[in-house]
């Protein structure tokens, strides 16, 4: 693994707790991929086969709905996507698409789970990093739900109660958000 790729892993929130030797253990199983502009890294409904770290470029995460795609996130260098696939066997809930020529590192789920089963300290520390990423995303989701609730309250009226129920359902759904 090149020095630049090791540096990318060290800078990642997933790997921030790892020692240099543990970085090497993770570096030994990651795969670098280059994704041309406009091409999908993965598609909604695909098997969740690993987590991706954006090294350069930009990935747009989109979700299909009501006949159109909606952008969930735009992730640049240091961005992490597909993290739930390291913990579950669920399919992708959204599509990751390169907005420009993009380089990513892929940490394959099967190889990561093998390290985890072996009790690898590196894998355990990456799992702790995953927890941090997911906690930050949940906090951002909670803040967005509160913002939307306050906008509904500002509108007032009888439709507000129905919208509050819909908002609560949205909040429950977003708590399991992953791509």
| pLDDT at position 173 | 57
Instruction: Give the least confident one: 21-25, 27-31, 90-94, 149-153.
Output: 149-153
Strand partners, 168: none
Domains plus CATH for the chain? 3-174 (2.60.120.10)
The predicted model gives 167-173 an average pLDDT of 60
> What are the tens digits of pLDDT across the range 39-71?
999 999 999 999 999 999 999 999 888 888 888
> What are the tens digits of pLDDT across the range 108-163?
999 999 999 999 999 999 999 988 888 888 888 788 778 877 777 777 654 455 56
DSSP-based three-state secondary structure for 66: coil
Q: What's the CA gap between 17 and 179, in Å, rounded? A: 24
* pTM of this structure: 0.81
Is residue 176 pLDDT above 60, yes or no?
Answer: no
Strand partners, 69: 64
Q: What's the CA gap between 92 and 44, in Å, rounded? A: 5
Interacting residues of 179 by C-beta distance below 8 A, sequence separation 6+: 61, 63, 72, 73, 81, 82, 84, 92, 93, 94, 95, 96
């Amino acid at each position: 693994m090149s020095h630049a790729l090791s540096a990318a892993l060290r800078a990642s929130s997933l790997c921030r707790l790892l020692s240099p030797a543990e970085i090497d253990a993770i570096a030994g199983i990651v795969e670098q991929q280059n994704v041309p502009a406009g091409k999908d890294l993965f598609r909604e409904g695909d098997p969740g086969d690993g987590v991706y770290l954006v090294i350069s470029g930009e990935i747009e995460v989109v979700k299909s709905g009501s006949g159109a795609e909606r952008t969930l996130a735009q992730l640049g260098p240091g961005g992490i996507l597909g993290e739930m696939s390291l913990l579950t066997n669920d399919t992708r809930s959204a599509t990751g698409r390169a907005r420009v020529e993009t380089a990513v590192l892929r940490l394959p789920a099967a190889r990561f789970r093998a390290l985890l089963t072996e009790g690898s300290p590196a894998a355990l520390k990456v799992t702790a990093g995953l927890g941090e990423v997911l906690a930050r995303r949940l906090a951002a989701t909670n803040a967005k739900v509160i913002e939307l609730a306050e906008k509904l309250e500002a509108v007032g009226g009888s439709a507000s109660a129905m919208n509050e129920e819909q908002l609560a359902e949205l909040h429950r759904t977003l708590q399991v958000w992953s791509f």
